[in-house]
Amino acid sequence: MNRVPSRFSGGSAYFRLPDSETLDTEGYFKCLNLIKPLFARPDFRDSTPGFYINYIKDPNTPAPKGSLRLSVFSVDGERTRKSIENFVGENSGIKLFHNDVSTELPPEKEKSPEELEPWNCFDATTQIVLDLFNVSGFNWNEFQDLVKSYRFNLLPQGIPAKEVFGSIFETYSKFYKQIKEVALDNEFWEALMSHYPAQSLLPMHMLVNMVLTYDDPRYYLLNANIFKTR
């Protein structure tokens, strides 16, 4: 659960499919499947203890026309950056069109556990979703429907996310089983359901962004008093 180091270099890499200047949601899921082998590479894994993925289409970023964005928490930014570039060089099915992963050394000042909490939640959510994506016997479309139904219908009723997703994660996610074995699963659920005003993050933010690929306008209009303020 707590994989993000207290000192890290950050940054993001942006991906699309080859010969394309845009990326729609269908293309995002194709990229998600294509990029999964990167995370098993020793050069990436050893230099990048934490990361998260989402679909982004924002004129204020390098991806105004859509992209899969990989954001990293690296202990060796230069090695992380090179591992990404080497992976893309060896895989013609995916294109890296912008890479701002920092090659500078991590800052001397350590981040506090409170500062790291939302990023550890982002990382844990990403690992769980990667476990679920394209796993045998798992219905991804039904899962997307469940995420949307929970975020916009069940959450406002006060139903805990663990009651809805706990058995799914335990059945299909190796990462979730690992954090449960060391009694960190309740910490994950608490973080997932938390509101982090400093980062403008609402409950379920990472799960919604990674699984649904967009933020429904209602996501920002729900009554704030249902959130647990940190």
Question: How many distinct helices (H) and strands (E) make up the chain?
Answer: 9, 6
Any idea which residue has 């990462």 for tokens? Answer: 175
Cα–Cα dist 24/10, whole Å:
26
Q: Report helix angle 140-149 to 161-172, nearest 10.
A: 160
For the cut 80, the answer to whether the pLDDT of residue 199 exceeds it is no
Is the Cβ–Cβ distance between 105 and 70 less than 8 Å? no
Please give the full DSSP string across 66-128, using - where no structure is assigned.
-EEEEEEEBSSHHHHHHHHHHHHHH-TTSEEEEE----SPPPSSPPPHHHHHHHHHHHHHHHH
**Mean pLDDT, residues 17-43:** 93
Write down the pLDDT at residue 53. 96
Domains of the chain: 12-99 (3.30.70), 113-118+138-229 (no CATH)
- Full-model pTM: 0.90
For the cut 60, the answer to whether the pLDDT of residue 118 exceeds it is yes
Is the Cβ–Cβ distance between 93 and 19 less than 8 Å? no
Cα–Cα dist 4/74, whole Å:
8
For the cut 50, the answer to whether the pLDDT of residue 76 exceeds it is yes
Is the Cβ–Cβ distance between 96 and 89 less than 8 Å? no
Write down the pLDDT at residue 165. 97
What is the residue-averaged pLDDT of the chain?
A: 88
Sign of the torsion formed by the C-alpha atoms of 218, 15, 142 and 180: negative
Is the Cβ–Cβ distance between 87 and 37 less than 8 Å? yes
Report percent pLDDT > 90 for the chain: 66
Write down the pLDDT at residue 214. 64
- C-beta neighbour count of 121 within 10 angstroms: 26
